[in-house]
Structure 1
Amino acid sequence: MAIVMGLDQHRVQITAEWLDTETGEIGRARVSPAHREDVRRFLQRFAGQRLEAALEATTGWRFVAEELRAVDAEVHLAEPAETAARRGNKKRAKTDRADARHLRELLMIGRLPESWIPPDHLLDLRAKVRLRHTLVDQRGEWQQRIQSVLYHHGFPQRHGLLTGENRAWLEALELPSGAREQVTVALTMIDALDAQSAPITRELRLYARRQLGCKALMKHYGIGELTAVTILAELGDTRRFSSSRHAVRYAGLDITVHQSDQRRAPGHLSRQGPPALRWALFEAAQAARRPGSPDRGYYDQAADRLGGNRACLALARKLLKKSFHTLRELGDDALLPA
């Protein structure tokens, strides 16, 4: 290696520290404002040299990585939580310069906890999947607000509140003016969210029908078009995981455990992973527990021991392991754009 660099990125400025491994010279710089043009101007001094750079997978990493690749640099994306953990518990000064040096040193000794950098088309697909997931979440939040207003004024809870029949029932209710305004605003917001999410949902469904990896995932009972495209976008190249258990941990579906000597207390789901991926797997598990499903027996056995909700989570982990092996067997073809 000729030059090894660590980059500590923030919205206002980027702090860089690099080491020339041939001369031993250390250089430092601060790029402010942290915009694409300023980063490009800073990196031009390294054009034509062999450069390896590490930066954390925080908001804004994509354009910095693109500019690094433009000067033929080798980019390493660090996982933020594990990178911070490797600083240790000893109290010491934490500055932007120290963070940049920490990244550079971890990269040099081969201990940088790296995150996978997806290809550009998969990053765009992931952004679209997460956008739809956010819109659907917000729709559910507004629906819960309506249920809360109704309960506050003594009306019974109704499932399927947004069907035509229940909407007519809502409009006929005698509510105080303040409550009526809350319901009206919530329904308006839900209609607006539906208008935004409908074309995205349609586009994702069409993509899933044409994309090789999605079509392979949909062969598993319970995984449909939307869940398949979400699993593909969030899981990505499964060959980067050494086993299916690591994929489960990546999804945040693993169970936390606290053990000391003879005491061992199982906890809750770690939830340290993409929320959209957990949503897709749980939705697929709910479909896969239906009578007639090949996994119905597995679900019944788990439900007898754990209850229905935890059995669904166990089935979600099983579907994730199947998806892991399916995409792994396809290799590079699994991620080809439709």
Structure 2
Amino acid sequence: MSLVMGIDQHRAQITAEWLDTVTGEVSRARVRPADRAGVRRFLARFAGQQLEVALEATTGWRFLVEELRAVGAVVHLAEPAETAALRGNKRRAKSDRADARHHRELLLAGRLPESWIPPDHILDLRARVRLRHTLIEQHTEWQQRIQAVLYHHGCRQRRRLMEGDGRDWLAAQPLPETAREQITVAMAMIDALDVQLAPLTKELCAWARRQAGCKALIHAYYGIGELCAVTVMAELGDCRRFQNSRDAVRYSGLDVTVYQSDRHRAPGHLSRQGPPALRWALYEAAQVARRPGSPDRGYYEQAAERLGGNRACLALARKLLKRCYHTLRELGDDALTPPVEQPQPGPGSAAPRPASSGSPRSLEATTTNQRADVLAA
């Protein structure tokens, strides 16, 4: 390497510091405004040179990586929390210039804690998965607000208010004008979210049916449906980056924290240091995998006796994640390949039949998983 650079990016400005390893000269620059055009002008001077760059995996890293690679740079994406921890416990002056220098020094010393940079199609898939998860959370929040308003005014509890005669029942409740307005707005927001969710869900399910890694998960494990499979694929990505399945569990945030000193041990809780969409998908899969007829029913019952139903589902979610890790790791590069485009049938030709795995249990589980995905939505 001839040039080693550290970058600290923010919405208003980007600070860069680089070292010429041949001459020992250190240079600095500040890019303002911090947009693609400004970054492109700044990087033009490095075209054709040997350049290695370290930057944190914070908001805005994607376009920076794209522009850096366009000039031939080797990019290293740093994990923010671990990078900050390497500063030590002493209180030192902190500035954008100091952060850029910190990234450069860690890269030069070979101590930079790196994050995986997914290919573009996985990044796009991850964005859609997280968008759907956000819409689902908002959908749930508005439903909870309706339930809170009803209880606040003494109405009896009723579930599935948006289905069947639920809307008629809501309209018949004796509510004051303000409460009626709250419920009307909430129902309008739910209807608007449903309009956005329907095509997005259809697109993700179609992606899962045509992608090798997702199909392997769907046909292998009871509880993993199309939406769960595509979420696991998007968030886990290349499982070869994890040393073992425990690292994958830790990445998901489903691991139980430990704080122990001498004979004192605090009760553990979920770390939740990972993608929320991945935890949601695995927990929904565990809810299906605990049903009678599932191969994991016995494991769930044993865990429920010791831990209770909720914690047993979390234990089952961790087990499903470990299985997904091994399956995707064994697939190697095939696990990340983009989905195969299906040819459009010509006029008068029959539509292609869906591929069958030949396993009755796999087909039955797939149907069950699809129904579970619909219920989860």
What range is the shorter-chain TM-score in? over 0.9
What is aligned with 2:357?
none
What is aligned with 1:317?
318
Q: Point out where structure 1 has 5 or more consecutive residues left out of the alignment.
A: none
1:306 is the counterpart of 2:312:
no
Residue by residue over 1:187-233, the C-alpha shift from the partner in whole angstroms, topping out at 9 and shown as x without a partner, is: 00000000011100001011111110000011200000000000000
260-269 or 288-297, which moves further after superposition? 260-269
Q: 3-state DSSP class of the match of 1:91?
A: coil
Deviation at 1:166, TM superposition (A): 1.1
Residue by residue over 1:209-258, the C-alpha shift from the partner in whole angstroms, topping out at 9 and shown as x without a partner, is: 11100000112000000000000000100000000000000000000010
Counterpart of 1:16, as a letter, is A
What is aligned with 2:195?
195
What is aligned with 1:150?
150
1:1-338 correspondence runs (5 A): 1-219=1-219, 220-338=221-339
Counterpart of 1:239, as a letter, is R
- 2 CA distance for matches of 1:329 and 1:201? 28
Answer whether contact 1:46 1:71 (CA < 8 A) is retained.
yes
Counterpart of 2:94, as a letter, is K
Counterpart of 1:336, as a letter, is T
Answer whether contact 1:18 1:104 (CA < 8 A) is retained.
yes
Deviation at 1:266, TM superposition (A): 3.3
Counterpart of 2:204, as a letter, is L
Deviation at 1:165, TM superposition (A): 1.2
- 1 CA distance for matches of 2:155 and 2:54? 57
- 1 CA distance for matches of 2:270 and 2:156? 33
Answer whether contact 1:302 1:311 (CA < 8 A) is retained.
yes
Deviation at 1:267, TM superposition (A): 1.6
Q: 3-state DSSP class of the match of 1:54?
A: strand
- 2 CA distance for matches of 1:73 and 1:24? 19
258-267 or 80-89, which moves further after superposition? 258-267
- 1 CA distance for matches of 2:184 and 2:335? 45
- 2 CA distance for matches of 1:264 and 1:188? 49
Residue by residue over 1:255-276, the C-alpha shift from the partner in whole angstroms, topping out at 9 and shown as x without a partner, is: 0010112222232100000000
Residue by residue over 1:266-306, the C-alpha shift from the partner in whole angstroms, topping out at 9 and shown as x without a partner, is: 32100000000000000000000000111111101100000
- 1 CA distance for matches of 2:225 and 2:181? 38
Percent of pairs identical after alignment? Answer: 76
Answer whether contact 1:14 1:31 (CA < 8 A) is retained.
yes
Q: 3-state DSSP class of the match of 1:222?
A: coil
Residue by residue over 1:100-119, the C-alpha shift from the partner in whole angstroms, topping out at 9 and shown as x without a partner, is: 00000011111111110000
Counterpart of 1:248, as a letter, is V
**TM-score, length-scaled by structure 2:** 0.89
Answer whether contact 1:231 1:277 (CA < 8 A) is retained.
yes
Counterpart of 2:95, as a letter, is T
- 2 CA distance for matches of 1:128 and 1:104? 33
**TM-score, length-scaled by structure 1:** 0.99
Measured on the aligned residues, the alpha-carbon RMSD in Å equals: 0.6
Deviation at 1:158, TM superposition (A): 1.0
Answer whether contact 2:13 2:32 (CA < 8 A) is retained.
yes
Residue by residue over 1:117-161, the C-alpha shift from the partner in whole angstroms, topping out at 9 and shown as x without a partner, is: 000000000000000000010000000000000000001111112
Answer whether contact 1:255 1:266 (CA < 8 A) is retained.
no
233-242 or 168-177, which moves further after superposition? 168-177
Q: 3-state DSSP class of the match of 2:229?
A: helix
Answer whether contact 2:155 2:173 (CA < 8 A) is retained.
no
- 1 CA distance for matches of 2:68 and 2:108? 18
- 1 CA distance for matches of 2:329 and 2:71? 32
164-173 or 283-292, which moves further after superposition? 164-173
Q: 3-state DSSP class of the match of 1:268?
A: coil
Answer whether contact 2:54 2:107 (CA < 8 A) is retained.
yes
Structure 1 runs of 4+ off > 2 angstroms? 262-266
Answer whether contact 1:78 1:114 (CA < 8 A) is retained.
yes
Q: Point out where structure 2 has 5 or more consecutive residues left out of the alignment.
A: 340-377
Q: 3-state DSSP class of the match of 1:218?
A: helix
- 2 CA distance for matches of 1:3 and 1:264? 48
- 1 CA distance for matches of 2:252 and 2:167? 37
Residue by residue over 1:56-80, the C-alpha shift from the partner in whole angstroms, topping out at 9 and shown as x without a partner, is: 0111100000000001100000111
Q: 3-state DSSP class of the match of 2:157?
A: coil
- 1 CA distance for matches of 2:113 and 2:157? 48
- 1 CA distance for matches of 2:116 and 2:162? 40
Residue by residue over 1:83-108, the C-alpha shift from the partner in whole angstroms, topping out at 9 and shown as x without a partner, is: 11111111110000000000000111
